[in-house]
Amino acid sequence: MTIELDKAADRPEAVQTPPPSKTSRKTTHNTTRKAPGKLAGWLGALPLLVFLSVFLIAPIATNIFTSFRVDGQFSLEPMAKLFEPQYRDAFIQTINLSLLTAAVGGVLGFILAWALATGTKPAWLRNLVLSFSAVASQMGGVALAFAFIATLGVQGLATRIILSLTGWNLSENIQLASFFGLALVYLYFQVPLMAILMLPAFGSLKKQWPEAAYSLGASRFRYLADVALPIMWPPIVGALLLLFANSFSAYATAYALAGGRVNLVPILIGFFISGDVMADESFAAALVTGMIVIVVAAMGLRTLLERRTNKWLR
């Protein structure tokens, strides 16, 4: 605001005569605009707000509303049904899958991030890995599922090569349409996602910090434990939470690989919506609500940690 006023003050001495009136009008407009500014803001944001209320907020609200109603009456029955063994098992399986892929992907991705952040040696190799990580972290979906079937399926490339080399049939031990098979495929995007998320955190660890610590006589371990870790843990945990949510909400990959053979929440929801299972509107809505609650919890925690992180990482 001050810059604007300065500029406007400078300009009138310049050659043009008509513009000054314009700029002066603009500046007066700016200074007197305090009260109507709020209204203008709402008006300007209105298209976006309307759009989001119709296509995002209203569907979510309807869903949550429906999950607490049976035959037009308030009821906790649909939500209670989530705790029936079959559905509770789906939630437990999905949580386990998300925990597993977040943990393994987190460790491997952290190592990859470390190599990317600290290594500059073969620059071309580093840049190649970096750009592929950025892309692979956004992969997923149907194409990835079929690519893995082509790799590790019964007739997959890796399966055939290993079979001809060692006589060991990989596909008998690694079932892609199983819990661990899905976990393996998810890692394809979880590992690079973790690496990409951790890079800024690594980048902001100042070079002077280890120098300062060592010059004060600290050992490497002491530096890691007392300086690096306290600063790094919020972004690490935050990234792990995002990985968890990412895996929890993946549908296309799981469906294309396993169909109904793995009991997962997103796949259950899919079956309910497409009407393969009896049409119980309220319960389908309850499943969705349960899923939203879990993802919101993970992402909410992440936001809190992010705020903590921003204190240090600039």
Partner 1 sequence: MAALETAPETLREARPKAAPRTKPAGAPKLQDTARIIIFAAALVMFFIPLVASAAFGFTLPGKGFTLEPLTDALAGTDFAAQLFTTLELAVLSTLGSLVLLVPTLLFLHLKAPKMLRLTEWLSVVPYVVPAIALVGGANLFFRNVAPSFLVSTYSLVPFYMVLTLPLVYRSLDAGIRALDVQTLFAASASLGAKPRQTLLHVVLPNMRAALLGSALLSCAMVLGEYALASLLLHSTFPVFMVQVGMNQPRAAAALSFLTILATWLLLASLSSVTARRGTKKSTTKGGSR
Residue 1 neighbours by CB distance under 10 Å: 8
Alpha helices in the chain (DSSP H): 2-10, 18-32, 34-52, 58-66, 77-81, 85-118, 123-136, 142-152, 157-166, 170-173, 179-203, 208-215, 220-223, 229-248, 252-258, 265-274, 281-312
| Residue the block writes with tokens 């109904």 | 260
Rule CB under 8 A: is residue 49 a binding residue for partner 1? yes
Nearer to partner 1, 100 or 223 (CB): 223
List the one residue from 73, 164, 173, 274 that touches partner 1 (CB under 8 A). 274
Rule CB under 8 A: is residue 158 a binding residue for partner 1? yes
Rule CB under 8 A: is residue 304 a binding residue for partner 1? no
Which structure tokens are listed for 263? 């009991």
Is the separation of the CB atoms in 236 and 198 below 8 Å? yes
Q: Per-residue string for binding with partner 1, 54-73, x by CB under 8 A?
A: xxxxxxxxxx--x-------
Stretch that binds partner 1, among 31-39, 80-88, 89-97, 99-107 (CB under 8 A): 31-39
List the one residue from 28, 96, 118, 169 that touches partner 1 (CB under 8 A). 118
Rule CB under 8 A: is residue 104 a binding residue for partner 1? no
List the one residue from 28, 31, 32, 38 that touches partner 1 (CB under 8 A). 38
CA distances from 298 to 57, 83, 246 (A): 20, 20, 10
Rule CB under 8 A: is residue 107 a binding residue for partner 1? no
Q: 69 has which bridge partners?
A: 74
Three-class SS of residue 70?
strand
List the one residue from 70, 99, 103, 147 that touches partner 1 (CB under 8 A). 147
| Residue the block writes with tokens 């497409």 | 274
Q: How far is CA 262 from the centre of its chain?
A: 23
* Positions 190 through 209 that interact with partner 1 (CB under 8 A): 191-192, 196-197, 199-200, 203, 208
List the one residue from 28, 31, 32, 42 that touches partner 1 (CB under 8 A). 42
List the one residue from 177, 273, 277, 301 that touches partner 1 (CB under 8 A). 273
Whole-number minimum distance, CB 80 to partner 1, in Å? 19
Three-class SS of residue 170?
helix
* Positions 220 through 239 that interact with partner 1 (CB under 8 A): 220
Nearer to partner 1, 84 or 211 (CB): 211
Q: 255 has which bridge partners?
A: none
